[in-house]
Structure 1
Amino acid sequence: MSEGVTADDPLADPSLYFNRELSQLDFNFRVLAQAQDESIPLLERLRFLCISCTNLDEFFEIRAATVRHAQDYSVQTAPDGLAPATVLRRIHDRAAELVTAQYACWNDVLRPALGEAGVRIFGRDKWNARQKRWLRAYFRNEIMPVLSPLGLDPAHPFPKILNKSLNVVVVLKGKDAFGRSGHLAIVRAPRSLPRIIQLPERVSGGESDFVFLSAVLSEFVDELFPGMEVKGAYQFRVTRNSELLVDEQEVENLALALRDELAGRGYLRAMRLEIAGNCPKPIVATLLKNFDLPDNAVYRIDGPVNLNRVIQVYDLVQRPELKYPPFQPRQLRGIDEIFQRVDDGDILLHHPFDAFTPVLELIKQAAEDPNVLAIKQTLYRTGKDSAIVEHLVQAARNGKDVTVVVELRARFDEDANLGVADRLQEAGVQVVYGVVGYKTHAKMLLIVRREGRKLRRYVHLGTGNYHSGTARGYTDLGLITADPAIGSDVHQIFQQLSGLAPAIQLQHLLQSPFTLHRGVIERIDREADNARAGRPARIVAKMNAINEPGVIRALYRASQAGVRVDLFVRGACTLRPGVEGVSDNIRVISVVGRFLEHHRVYWFANNGKPELFGASADWLERNLLHRVETCFPFLDPAIAARVREEVIDNYLADNTQAWELQADGCYRRLEPDDDAMPHSAQAWLLARING
């Protein structure tokens, strides 16, 4: 239990908290609702279906695996009071409902609708003779040469099955060339093979016709076992734990330790088994035993077990009318002289509506400017072939002092970040791996430039990563400023990260794990005090998730004092709103739309002197207490007003893509009242850049 929460506190009552894992799982039902929404272009609906499937994969790899770990090691229960075994059972029950809904959406809605639109994904039962001949030849020429089927016998035990890989279990009858009786064989599909195969127009008659690799394997698998009879072929996929556990206190070199861990990540403990719905029970039992899984961890699938792979169709089909209209992000003027532009005043970037270009230009021009002496930056996720990394490399080659804090433990980007670290070090960049035991999740850039006789600091702070790709698909805020006090704060944090500096006193920034948790609670409590005294009091905050009990308890106290609290929480929320006498003044909204809601913004009324912050941190226990995070104020009145309009007021008005969390844990999609105009926060922002 977190700081400030005691077992005898009535606000620590487990009935006041939802389970984090189950709340996170439910987010995918809201994503799936986008796939079912007929007002959304058809290929975008397909994309949302695939996102819900990919999210479910990651959920089992991380969240469910964490619960399993807690069960194995008798870890203390969460504030909701549920034992890990109970949570696991509920996860499997709820996930089964989600999987059923996903495949119903695919089989009954999207696949037929795509077919009517001329995008056909054929099942084996729909292949005509010409298509089957072409696919057989494709199997023999392109697929069979890279397959290595394995018959199971005492000399060939069950093979290692890679996480989320496509496999087929084959039931055989007869004897092979060595006189061995057939029973079961496993065919593993190498990841070099495309999971979606496009049929040539001359063969199929349509320019957008596809089949799944899994269907081709199942149809022609008999050619791998000549002289034997194939009695059945059933595709399956296993999802494994992907959480890397490196004891940082015990390793001398974190990079080497992570490389060792990554080599085995694909074969960690199994968490669920997806298998063809018609697979016989004895074979399912054999697989469950091999993977050491309980009966409720098997998901019988009515379709391809790797449904998320149909996302490739989105990229392969060039049909603009089936996708969202393209948009061009707003370009900031004057960035060809970025330092002069910042001299004229702070810059606010609201991605993806504002282009990411100014951030790239800031680093590029710093790398080339002879007056720039030093560049310091944090990198959590950067993307493949990052322009930022290349600019930093060039800066080092140009003689700048470049220091980069690379977070090697950024989940699923560990391998990429190891490569980034190597690339930077080869160029002479000083690479720091952060602080042992604390992921560096802060988004900070500091540039030191000589201007006359003085040194001046230029800073970029953000709510999202230095990743050009996510800047086009995630909603985030970035602030570029030359404010001396903010520059001093950021400088001190970098000194702390790269050295062994003591605790520091910052002027404007709040920092995890030192002052952010306390600072948030103090501001919530201040609003409660103002409300009790009859002064203006209100809280509006936007984030991706909330589960920190100390913050939640403070919000309950504020609600009891009469403070109106509006929380925009995209994903997991363990706070229970609408409880009479506790949280009846708290409203929780989840917005799901074209872009992934990602910015973290906190607004406090403060008796008519409002405080407005952007942050890298959600109100999660890990972010507030166990990571390096930054929370920064918007000091410029014009910028603060813009953030208030675009992120606070705009999202409060959303009545089309907003879902309100109820006291029972269900979400209700908001609809415009009879006298209200429909309002989508994201659509309003898109219209604004085009206006």
Structure 2
Amino acid sequence: MTPDGTPAPDDTSHPDLHAPELYLNRELSQLEFNRRVLAQAQDPQVPLLERLRYLCISCSNLDEFFEIRAATVRTAMQFGGTPAPDGVPPAKALELIHRQARELVDAQYDCWNEELRPQLAAAGIRILPRDGWNAKQRRWLHQYFQDELLPVLSPLGLDPVHPFPRILNKSLNVVVVLEGRDAFGRNGGMAIVRAPRSLPRIIHIPPEVSGGPHDFVFLSAVLTAFVDDLFTGLKVKGAYQFRVTRNSELVVDEDEVENLASALKDELASRGFRPAVRLEIAENCPRTIVDILLQNFGLTASAVYRINGPVNLNRAIQVYDLVDRPELKFPPFVPKQVSLDEDAPFAAIRESDVLLHHPYQGFQTVIDLLNVAAHDPDVLAIKQTLYRTSKDSRIIDHLVTAARNGKDVTVVVELRARFDEEANIRLADRLQEAGVQVMYGVVGYKTHAKMMLIVRREGRKLQRYVHLGTGNYHAGTARAYTDLGLITADPDITADVHDVFQQLSGLAPAIRLRRLLQAPFTLHAGVLARIAREAGHARAGRGGHIVARMNALTEPAVIRALYEASQAGARIELIVRGACCLRPGVSGVSENITVRSVIGRFLEHSRVYWFANAGEPELFCSSADWMERNLLRRVEICFPIRDPQLAARVHDEALASYLADNQGAWDLQADGRYVRAMPADGGMPYSAQGALLAKHCG
């Protein structure tokens, strides 16, 4: 390694592309992504309430990181597992995770305490700490405690009869230290008080009480301030809020269960009490109390995070919705609606493909197409995959309507969509009650593909229409995530989608597709083959070039193929929003590879792969990241954009524009750090998202 931490150049002509030093640690890379999100909260150029939102997102992201990624590493440390490509043992990885996560948490609370809370107060939005309450506010909050909290609180004293209670994942709790004797003559000691889950975590003090329209208090502050009301006759020596984060990965052996939905329901019931991963606690909590908590949670001191503020800081995001101050938020925008011909929408699709770029173009086009299909007497069948959708989804309404109108409706519902399992079980039940044929996908493989197929009788033949996307059938996220969708009647693509649905619904063998690449069968090999082809073009002097965009790049074989293409002289430009295990800029290995991440108003979610192919470029959109799970353990699709004009538009809007960004872009260095892109001397600032808003919504 060189002094700056980057791999040293290999003197041999054939460096070992399996060498651990050529790979960045996935978990640490994910933490780096969260640093970039936090940087939005720290940026004074971002509107104030949006900065608060970014701070809360970074806190929620960190929760999920511990629930999934850190929990996975901890499990590997305890029970063993396949070494990661970077070669860092799980125990060392967990140590590094805690070290970097602690730095991130400190930065989050510095941002909250030193920047956002004071600046919000200066703007007339006060989140009041306990020592900032005046007498009138304190009386009102005490009454709130008496009226709203006290009737539903159930403090639990700890003694031989009442052992340490089971603490729910991410629930807000207060550990109380008591002195004296209670009514039964028992000596005071410790008690646990869990905050009611039914009450809001942010309390809005009425303006007539507080004197200002936007004064708020964390429920945790009210609970700790008046907790002594629960222990009449005892003296409260201390009250310290805490929160434990637990492993939230569901483990269901699908080969051993007869009913996946029933098995998932059983597993969900216990998810909140799985092994602990992290303990957050008030920074002034005595060490003796911390040790007791650690012992009960089975954690070591390295997993303790002492918090200078509310342990559930992410709940401050409620303030964003409660405060109507447009000048402190991003300017509103109205997505451009791409309307299909009202009189002959299907004829318009047969005439030309329709490309949608969300959120700049509205998702309503997809909803309208399904609505038309649900009511069209010539439509015979509708098939769709659902991974995530909203509670009040019009998509579900239209599928139900279609079934009630006598159409054959088949929906593949992925019950194992992380953190949406319960919602998907409920929507599956609703669809089945309406007569929809519901399938739960394939044992051992999550169905992550985004597909909708409409079969329509036109004259003496049946005509197929499809919608394919990079994102979920979720109208809410379609306004917050960038995604691409294609509506087409292309006979090869629609036939492929038909075959994939047939495969999912039956027990069909692997199928030979015409245009689509499909995981877990042809997508991984197809990506590797195209990367190798660009390497061959580069060796032959035909200028190999790859531009690819995704959420994460972690699959080792793909990374090695990219290294080989770089060694051959191909130019490789990667836009990777989150975790990236590829190390760019290593002499003799990846000096022809650049990696950047773009963070902005919208969550970058599109997956686009472009291969120059010696002047005959191929461009694909996909539901799949270049991760092992997506390429090898999920049902995914990757679809070509065959219309040259639409392909050029996707290249310009989703790739070239992001490579030119110097406002929200961060460039990955060989040592794993990200450096914010800046305009060149004399250059103009350019934001890809801003340009797309101006183009489509301006």
TM range (shorter): over 0.9
1:9, distance to aligned residue in structure 2 (A)? 7.8
1:690, distance to aligned residue in structure 2 (A)? 3.3
Equivalent residue, structure 1, for 2:535: 528
Task: Please show how residues 213-252 of structure 1 align to structure 2 within 5 Å.
Answer: 213-252=219-258
Task: Please show how residues 537-548 of structure 1 align to structure 2 within 5 Å.
Answer: 537-548=544-555
1:335, distance to aligned residue in structure 2 (A)? 4.8
Name the SS for the 1:461 alignment partner: strand
Distance 1:276 1:190 in 2: 19
1:126, distance to aligned residue in structure 2 (A)? 0.6
Equivalent residue, structure 1, for 2:111: 105
Q: 2:292 aligns with which of 259, 280, 286?
A: 286
Equivalent residue, structure 2, for 1:593: 600
1:675, distance to aligned residue in structure 2 (A)? 3.0
Amino acid at match of 2:423: A
- Is the contact made by 1:615 and 1:632 (CA closer than 8 Å) also made in structure 2? yes
Distance 2:15 2:632 in 1: 21
Distance 1:496 1:544 in 2: 27
1:452-472 Cα distance to aligned partner (Å, 9 max, x none): 111000000000000001100
- Is the contact made by 1:489 and 1:508 (CA closer than 8 Å) also made in structure 2? yes
Name the SS for the 1:374 alignment partner: strand
1:338-366 Cα distance to aligned partner (Å, 9 max, x none): 32331231000000000001110111111
Residue 71, structure 1, aligned to residue 77, structure 2: yes
Task: Please show how residues 414-563 of structure 1 align to structure 2 within 5 Å.
Answer: 414-563=421-570
- Is the contact made by 1:335 and 1:361 (CA closer than 8 Å) also made in structure 2? no
Distance 2:251 2:75 in 1: 11
Equivalent residue, structure 1, for 2:199: 193
Name the SS for the 2:630 alignment partner: helix
1:605-660 Cα distance to aligned partner (Å, 9 max, x none): 00000000000000000000110000000001111111011111111110111000
Equivalent residue, structure 2, for 1:312: 318
Residue 667, structure 1, aligned to residue 674, structure 2: yes
Distance 2:634 2:367 in 1: 26
Q: 1:565 aligns with which of 568, 572, 582?
A: 572
Amino acid at match of 1:387: R
Q: 2:309 aligns with which of 280, 303, 307?
A: 303
Equivalent residue, structure 2, for 1:603: 610
Distance 1:249 1:68 in 2: 26
Equivalent residue, structure 2, for 1:641: 648
Unaligned 5+ segments in structure 1 are 1-7
Task: Please show how residues 65-144 of structure 1 align to structure 2 within 5 Å.
Answer: 65-144=71-150
Distance 2:539 2:234 in 1: 81
Distance 2:455 2:362 in 1: 24
1:250, distance to aligned residue in structure 2 (A)? 0.7
Equivalent residue, structure 2, for 1:268: 274
Distance 2:100 2:404 in 1: 54
Distance 1:79 1:250 in 2: 31
Name the SS for the 2:583 alignment partner: coil
Amino acid at match of 1:491: H
Unaligned 5+ segments in structure 2 are 1-13
Distance 2:286 2:655 in 1: 54
Distance 1:390 1:336 in 2: 20
Distance 1:151 1:477 in 2: 55
Distance 1:342 1:43 in 2: 42
1:76, distance to aligned residue in structure 2 (A)? 1.5
Task: Please show how residues 204-215 of structure 1 align to structure 2 within 5 Å.
Answer: 204-215=210-221
- Is the contact made by 2:566 and 2:572 (CA closer than 8 Å) also made in structure 1? yes
Task: Please show how residues 363-442 of structure 1 align to structure 2 within 5 Å.
Answer: 363-442=370-449
Name the SS for the 1:255 alignment partner: helix
Distance 1:263 1:167 in 2: 20
Amino acid at match of 2:86: D
Q: 2:692 aligns with which of 657, 677, 685?
A: 685
1:31, distance to aligned residue in structure 2 (A)? 0.2
Equivalent residue, structure 2, for 1:5: none
Distance 2:668 2:649 in 1: 27
Distance 1:9 1:152 in 2: 61
- Is the contact made by 1:616 and 1:631 (CA closer than 8 Å) also made in structure 2? yes
Distance 1:648 1:303 in 2: 41
Q: 1:332 aligns with which of 338, 361, 378?
A: 338
Q: 1:9 to 1:372 in 2, by over 3 A?
A: farther
Distance 2:384 2:77 in 1: 39
TM-score with structure 2 setting the length: 0.97
RMSD across aligned C-alpha pairs, in angstroms?
A: 0.9
Distance 2:179 2:300 in 1: 29
Distance 2:580 2:697 in 1: 34
- Is the contact made by 2:447 and 2:636 (CA closer than 8 Å) also made in structure 1? yes
Residue 577, structure 1, aligned to residue 584, structure 2: yes
Q: Which stretch of structure 1 is more off in the superposition, 280-289 or 671-680?
A: 671-680
1:334, distance to aligned residue in structure 2 (A)? 3.2
* Runs ≥4 residues deviating over 6 A: none
Name the SS for the 1:10 alignment partner: coil
- Is the contact made by 2:360 and 2:696 (CA closer than 8 Å) also made in structure 1? yes
Name the SS for the 2:484 alignment partner: strand
Distance 2:279 2:323 in 1: 31
Distance 1:434 1:334 in 2: 31
1:405-431 Cα distance to aligned partner (Å, 9 max, x none): 000000000000000110111111111
Equivalent residue, structure 1, for 2:182: 176
Distance 1:104 1:468 in 2: 35
Aligned residues: 684
Equivalent residue, structure 2, for 1:3: none
- Is the contact made by 2:385 and 2:413 (CA closer than 8 Å) also made in structure 1? yes
Amino acid at match of 1:439: K
Q: 1:476 to 1:335 in 2, by over 3 A?
A: farther
- Is the contact made by 1:335 and 1:358 (CA closer than 8 Å) also made in structure 2? no
- Is the contact made by 1:536 and 1:608 (CA closer than 8 Å) also made in structure 2? no
1:25, distance to aligned residue in structure 2 (A)? 1.4
- Is the contact made by 1:541 and 1:567 (CA closer than 8 Å) also made in structure 2? yes
Amino acid at match of 2:252: V
Name the SS for the 2:272 alignment partner: helix
Distance 1:519 1:155 in 2: 62
Residue 29, structure 1, aligned to residue 45, structure 2: no
Equivalent residue, structure 2, for 1:617: 624
Amino acid at match of 1:91: I
Equivalent residue, structure 1, for 2:355: 348
Distance 1:336 1:434 in 2: 34
Distance 2:64 2:384 in 1: 28
Equivalent residue, structure 1, for 2:4: none
Distance 1:509 1:676 in 2: 41
1:537, distance to aligned residue in structure 2 (A)? 1.5
1:235, distance to aligned residue in structure 2 (A)? 0.3
Q: 2:664 aligns with which of 651, 657, 662?
A: 657
TM-score with structure 1 setting the length: 0.98
